[in-house]
Chains A and B, each alone.
Chain A
Amino acid sequence: MVDVIKSNIPEGELSKKWTNYKSSANLVNPSNRRNLDIIVVGSGLAGASAAASLGEMGYNVKCFCFQDSPRRAHSIAAQGGINAAKNYQNDGDSVGRLFYDTIKGGDYRSREANVYRLAEVSVNIIDQCVAQGVPFAREYGGLLDNRSFGGVQVQRTFYAKGQTGQQLLLGAYQALSRQISKGSVKMYNRHEMMDIVILDGKARGIVARNLLTGEISRHSSHAVILASGGYGNVFYLSTNAMGSNCSATWKAHKRGALFGNPCFVQIHPTCIPVSGEYQSKLTLMSESLRNDGRIWVPKKLEDAKRISLGEISPSDIIEENRDYYLERRYPSFGNLTPRDVASRAAKERCDAGFGVNLSGQAVFLDFKDSIKRYGKEVIESRYGNLFQMYEKITADNPYKIPMKIYPAIHYTMGGLWVDYDLQTNISGLFAAGEANFSDHGANRLGASALMQGLADGYFVLPYTVSNYLANDIQTGKISVESKEFSETEIKVKDRINYFLKNNGSKSVDYFHRKLGKIIWENCGMSRNKEDLNSAIEQLKTIKDDFWRNVKVTGRNNHLNQELEKAGRVADFIELGSLMCHDALNRNESCGGHFREEYQTEDGEALRNDETFSYVSAWKYNDENLSPKLFKENLIFKNIELKQRSYK
């Protein structure tokens, strides 16, 4: 029997829920706020905006990041843009439309009330960011410009060239810096959260390691917010930053927090293909390129072969012999189909042997027609920096030779399960941004990650955290001398000592690469029962091998990047296994989760709303036992479930 969990969605009509919540939520009076401590782990869009906003309200905030500055969080790398239902282009956009697009884009696996709230506050985000000085792109009349993005038919994406994430993060970073200078936020750079401390069932603090000195410190608080990002690096090769990791959320999970939809990961269709064994990460080319680029492979197998061997150039292939497969399969959305659909279509062509590089894992993204239509200058003004980046990496000039692209892991929709308040099942433990299982269901639309991160941090958590803390005003300062803190600290130290003393023979990267390969091949763009079962077995072996044979050089009491990686990879191995369990449980195909057993005759995903219209929330079981499944049933009252079609 599977337990069912509740998401605390407020009563009332969908469009009034958030308004009602705000007007009836508990408040903390300003003079009490300064006696309440909040810990924020992570300083990306969600973490920095939450820390800044809560600091501004008068709470005592401590913010932790492993980078040398909060400005380096990986939100900075988001290129394309941020969605908001402003309808500045008068093309029929509205909060309702954004809500609908997000639910549909997520393949009907997200919670209506959360998504509606997201769409509702999206407009405030743009206002807030402009007020902070975020230099969004503007038209000659001085008003904000918009572009369109995959999966929607309106222009609602605000952008700042190809660096929207950077500009938004710097906005949040500046807001955070303002609070740091005021003393309301204390920043802990180069600190990694090692574990969460639970007191009487409530999250009451963390244990952190100073990455420069190895010092382990205890920090107590009345609430803990995890905004530590996604777990894409479980694949080893991903578009995530090298340091992006799942350890904070995984530690919370091991302490009892449910992990929602771990198998929902997003494969981004336009990344630069892998060039060799040594590859350490993959580079994304913004989805916005699909506005003007056309994706194709040769129609004839022998052409594909000759191109990949370098015998002929792509421009030698005449129009009739090119297969613009997205336009062919999805005439109404064409090259702008959602990410999961575009990625799978690329994989389908490459698996059939039409790949255009030596590994057979690349398709063309061609700007020839757009350059002909608009001229090189226009294309350059739109994508100049992306083209330059591409050329630096591949030494090919995309103005002349079509880009080669291939899907890569980019974002994880899964994460800690949270209720309407963004609170996990552990009281006082909140999760925001990519770290929570989020509002994106089984697939996230382009330009929605920035929107969600900022919505959570700026506009949701300030209300919901206050609502929670209103019951804590009598608690007083929480001591770090308790048994729970000591035990957690000892556990953390034991693990560090284990790594340093384990005289193994294989580097951390060796295991990480192996893990990545297993997950990519068995729990990547398409999955099946047999592979998933085999992956779970393989991961057991890897885990065993890792703990026996991992080699960590250096000491604890100075900067030791190998030690940092060891802890993170240990957690990734366990998380990888949970992903496979989740993928195995979900006997349907939806969004980023494609089970080969469940597809239509023409290869489209076959969803099963009857049986799987739920969020799978997993509870950590003992080390050697399988995780336990809880379900949150998704109830759609305002939207009709349809088979997603972009044809």
Chain B
Amino acid sequence: MSKNTIIFSSSLGKKFVMSLTGLFLCSFLIVHLGGNIALFTSKDTFNEYTKFMTSNPLIRFMEIILVLGFLTHIVDAILLYIRNKNASNTKYIFDKKKSSISSRSMALTGSFILFFLIVHLRSFWYEYKFGEVIYSEDSNGNQIKDMYHIVTSSFESPMYSLFYVSAVILLGIHLNHGFQSAFLSLGLRHKKYTPFISLIGKLFSFSITLGFISFPIYFCLKNFNLW
């Protein structure tokens, strides 16, 4: 192994990678949530936003980084999981942990989020790129793909919405531990600031959860003409 990569292959190196990619993915969530707010405005705004996001070169470049970020986070998680399972191969007959459930279920919540991510990409990204998409007119009269329609029709299914909501809640649980844990892994812990970071972490995971849940709820209410 090259000496430069030792830092990444060691246990602590893997922790750094997990935390850096994790925090990067957190920033993605903010952008993603921010963009999705366009769903609340109008069909055209959202579709134009989608068009921008899928065509701007800088965004396309970031997309590659994002994919790499996801892959690294996932591969690293799997490697860590295997290592940890090997280290603790026998279980107690009677065990009482005192730590939070969210901290102990990162692999579980993470796996579910991965599964959701695949479904999510299939239903939106794949549909948009390769599916039979309806076109609509933008404000300038150009034909653009109607992403808004894909979203609304997905959320018409109560099962899908339920799946979406539960995945987002699990994401929230994942973030609840992940956010502050990332700081600890990077060695950023301080008597004065750590409580503040924990608070930010809680607020962040809570707002992300609430933010993403708001979309299926919005469309559900709309379907029943309650909005």
Do A and B touch (CB < 8 Å)?
no
